[in-house]
Amino acid sequence: MADDAKPVVEFTKEFPKKDAAIAAGYKEKEVAKVFKEGGKKGVEIEGAADMSGLTCFCTRIQNAKGEVALLEVAMEGMNAIPDPSDEEERKGCSGHISKVLISESEEKGQIAMVAYVADQTKDKLNAKDWLQGVCDSTLGGGVGGTVDEGATATWATVTSKEDKENYFFLKMKDNCLGAAIAYLRERDLFQDDSSSEEGDNPAADFEW
């Protein structure tokens, strides 16, 4: 009977960030690699959220090479809805969790960051303000940078560059993740052991 049929899940079929990165000249292999990393990390975050109720997350992406375009691909992979018929290739699944992703390149002396705000937290968080808050933070000497034009309340990017006078790469690298988390803490959106009223919080053991 029609009433007993399972609801159809609309899985993600188009990936404009992947397409844009390839069109911009990035190799398909490196785009696929960073997309896969994002997809894998998305499933891990989904699991942590299921156990702890976390709604926001900040983490580093290893294969984005300090490039915003590749970091956006990773975010796209994290937010993708997988094909439900292929459980073995289940990746992504974290589009309901707001995130800041970070990637560094010591060779280029720069830090790339992408912020995404999910519908579930858009009344408490703004992607552009979140990233600019990281850039403007004085934590550990700061990060620096100005959010890219075209930023919205749900998606924002920035590339912070070392200038060897005010901002040094190694300090920036150390500061950016802490500043992104501090921004959440100030708004009571970060969950760790100290914010859990029921003992151990699985989110606290996850690699932020």
Q: How do residues 5-33 score in pLDDT, each as one tens digit?
A: 444 456 677 889 999 999 999 999 999 99
Type of residue found at 50: D
**Terminal alpha carbon distance of the chain:** 46
DSSP state for residue 1 in the 8-state scheme:
-
Instruction: Name the phi and psi angles at 114, rounded to 5.
Output: -130, 135
Q: Which two tokens stand for residue 22?
A: 């390839």
Task: Tell which wins on pLDDT, 90 or 179.
Answer: 179
What was the pLDDT predicted at 89?
67
CB 75, CB 27: distance < 8 Å: no
Residue 34 to residue 42: CA distance in whole angstroms: 12
Is residue 196 over pLDDT 70?
A: no
Q: What is the pTM of this model?
A: 0.86
